[in-house]
Amino acid sequence: MGKQKVGAKKEAKTKEEEDEVFAQVREVQDRLEDLNHQADQCRASIRRCEVESKRSELTAKELEPLPDDSKLYRQVGKMFLLQPKKDMTNYLNATSAMKTVESNQLKQALQKLGEQASSEMNSLKELLGPEKFKAAFGNMAQQGAGGK
């Protein structure tokens, strides 16, 4: 009869430990999902910056053959402002440079998010152990280690 009580206590203790590990795994998984969401937003912002930069470059390139006294209009909200060609090209070049810098900053932020996600994956691996981790996330672990 004494052996049954010890066995019951061990089962209860392991069940509590499993519940605690499950809660920790869920927390890490939630953080990973949040990091993935932030990374997706960052990629979209990078794409928008690159498109805006390219648009400014191409527009400036199209303005080059025009004479210096051409009437050029720049859109500001719902209205258009008359500007000299020199001011317009300066504005387009500045916009292109600013968006390029912003894109580079976002790429650095994306890299940091990737490092954080890698750290979270490692902590998840430590919580589950290598065998359970491989069984649960086999394909994801290979992709993360192989480099995306």
Whether 30 and 67 have beta carbons less than 8 Å apart is answered as: no
Q: pLDDT (tens digit, 9 = 90+) per residue, 63-121?
A: 999 999 888 999 999 999 999 999 999 999 999 999 999 999 999 999 999 999 998 88
146 pLDDT band (50/70/90 cuts)? very low
Mean pLDDT computed over 31-37: 92
- Answer yes or no: are the C-beta atoms of 103 and 47 closer than 8 Å: no
User: Among all chains, which residue has been given the structure tokens 């400036």?
Assistant: 60
pTM: 0.72
Contact (CB, 8 A) for 25 and 127: yes
Give the model's confidence band at 137: pLDDT under 50 very low, under 70 low, under 90 confident, else very high.
Answer: low
The string over 128-141, giving b where at least 16 C-beta atoms fall within 10 Å of a residue's C-beta and e elsewhere, is beeeebeeebeeeb
The pLDDT of residue 55 is 96
pLDDT at 1 exceeding the cut of 60: no
